[in-house]
A and B are shown apart, each in its own frame.
Chain A
């Protein structure tokens, strides 16, 4: 079965550079979530989209932005990168109205971002 696809798997950037992470949800899933997980930390919710509209916002820095496109894929744009942005970034997708609490989230393999 198709899963959530994230690209790239690994990304190395320098401070103050920009980065774009991509996420392709499971086919027919209409909701995408972005999470950030630092070493030894739990995944922290950044932002989510339902039907191409932002549905919820968490601890996403102002330097980051995201959007969901007409084919439901999503991109997380990160600017003015800082050392502390080094983390594993996960995308997850779910099916449903996006407001059904029992809809399961399925995660991609993540993008490991290293900021030097």
Chain B
């Protein structure tokens, strides 16, 4: 079992819709959770971080964390074609960042 699990997708949503990306992790001592966006051949770009249970909103993005369920999600409101990318969930204990395999999001015009 991978430490961080994501559905590889692709997740297809129409422009303007809400995209919901999910991630589960296995290490209960994980303390920090991040969402990175990665375009093909490019480096991961940090878009959200969350450290405590609940919701955290930043513009069109909302991260949700449930440590009891070992679950973290990312909601993208008013999805745009430019949001089409692979979204990597990353989990950190004390040092290294462990990535999930990523979910490919396709937003159609």
Contacts and interface: CB of A to CB of B under 8 A. Distances in A.
B56 interface: no
Contacts of A109: 42-43
A45 interface: yes
B44 A43 contact: yes
Interface string A73-116: 00000000000000010101000001101101111111010000
Contacts of A88: 41
Contacts, number: 56
Interface residues of A, number: 25
B69 interface: no
A42 B32 contact: no
Interface stretch (B12-20, B60-68, B72-80, B94-102): B94-102
A65 interface: no
Interface of B: 31-32, 34, 36, 41-46, 49, 51, 88, 90, 92-102
| A-B CB proximity, top 6 nearest | A101-B31, A107-B43, A42-B99, A101-B32, A56-B95, A42-B101
